[in-house]
Amino acid sequence: MRRARSFLVQIVWLLLTAQLYAGGIKPLPARIAAVLSDPDLARGFWGIEVVSLPSGRILYAQNADKLFTPASNTKLFTTAAALALVGPDYKFHTTVETTGALDKHGRLIGDLVLMGRGDPNLSGRELPYDLHTERNDHPIQVLENLADTLVQKGVKYVDGDIVADDSYFAFERYGEGWSQDDLVWGDGAPVSALTINDNVLFVNILPADRAGERAFVNVTPFADYYRIDNRIITTPPGAGRKIFINREPGSTVLTLWGNMPMDDQGANEALAIEDPAEFAAKLFRSLLERRGIAVYGRQRTHHTELASLSTFSVTAIAPSRGGDDNQFRPLQMNQPLVLASNDSKPLIEDVRVINKVSQNLHAEILLRLLGREKGTAGTIEGGLEVLRGFLAQAGVPSDQYLFYDGSGLSRQNLVTPHAVVQLLRYAAAQPWGNIYRGTFPVAGVDGSLSDRFKNALQGRVYAKTGSLGGVKALSGYAKTNSSQQIAFSILSNNFNLPSKRITDTTDRIIEAIVADTPAQK
């Protein structure tokens, strides 16, 4: 019976193909070949697979079993695993706690600990995501609220230290294979279980009133974190802008140089901080003191060092990285007293941000969350181990992918178009499949596809973009002109053409894929 049904499907498909060809619609391989026929596209590599979702039939394949650098298409795997295993309703929990005691005079005898558990949205980001990223004017509002709660609880003095604790995840700020050039900017911000304002500071640069004077540089939300060496000179109107920014790894000295004309509207850059927990400790202490709470100790951090995971309990030590204290300190094992707390929005809201705007840091947090909640440890490898188990369940062949991070920043990541499509097919059949697809950018509508497909395909393609130097990717779902639902993956590597040229070619391939019948007028 199954063989007969398969034979019948093939006959119907052949008849349909013959009918389309007779009606002037070329077969899909011919349509895609026409797009890729330009000689200047021949030097790079293209990997493509297109599958009908209802039947599972492969409609087109080119290098579908070859390994490509996927860039941010890596996020498709991380977010799918998070929705399937952790769940869309999961909430992150941030607390301010102590193992000491608060007396009737408002004196806290002991350390005050700001405990992070991975919340990526302790920031001014507006949720739920609606068409584009929106940030309010209060990027540290959650910390402000926690500090206000301490005042309401009657805290007036802290005899101990202010400890920023990000030990929920291991102290692995960066992924293997990340480019050093990325680490200064927001796209390469360090990963931490205690993340404030996406672990970046916004540097605003404005010209001075007169030529020859230094430009104005303003840093928010915590100007005291960086030491600014400003060498940007204001130039006469119409001179053109040239600005350079440098921060060496491990340093908090920010050097800016170049020139900015007087008629320039100004520049705004998101620059990564060095140690998120240290940043949080300094910032939180300043918020407490601003509210009249006297702090007699230092600000310091508590990290989980990777080496400690294989030798003894990660809760047994507190490596201190902040203030003047750089020694390991024992942690109290008493049940902590929670003085203030904050719960995040449901996880699905952040998955939507990750896929719509391709947020690297948040994807990395999800990978570590997988390891912490469903694996052996909140580490990169712990998360990847969980991811591999999930992909085995999804039927993705283990020899068709190799991941080193959760975001796609690593150039060592490898995946085949077939592996991507198999993931998409599996997800489409799961209870969480619809909400997963709903987190993808929509053609001509929002996210990283808001400015693409401003034509008949608007609203008909749900796909995740990916981009690195020499790498472009687009994978997701689409509805063809005949209303057939498909899953596709288009990966291009090793091209030396302008980025827009590859993007336009990818879009033309999508147009060729959906053109299986004449569009309805």
What residues act catalytically?
72, 75, 358
**DSSP SS3 for 318:** strand
Rounded to whole angstroms, the Cα distance separating 322 from 393 reads 43
In DSSP terms, which residues pair with 131 in a beta bridge? none
**Cα-flanking dihedrals φ and ψ of residue 472, to 5°?**
-135, 145
Radius of gyration (C-alpha) of the chain in whole angstroms: 26
CB 44 within 8 A of CB 499: no
Amino acid code (one letter) for 230: N
Of 48, 50, 72, 67, residue with least CA distance to 59? 50
CB 96 within 8 A of CB 355: no
Rounded to whole angstroms, the Cα distance separating 502 from 44 reads 10
Strands (E), 16-141: 45-52, 58-62, 93-98, 101-102, 107-109, 112-115
CA distances (Å), origin 470, targets 184, 233, 502, 512: 21, 34, 9, 23
Rounded to whole angstroms, the Cα distance separating 481 from 39 reads 29
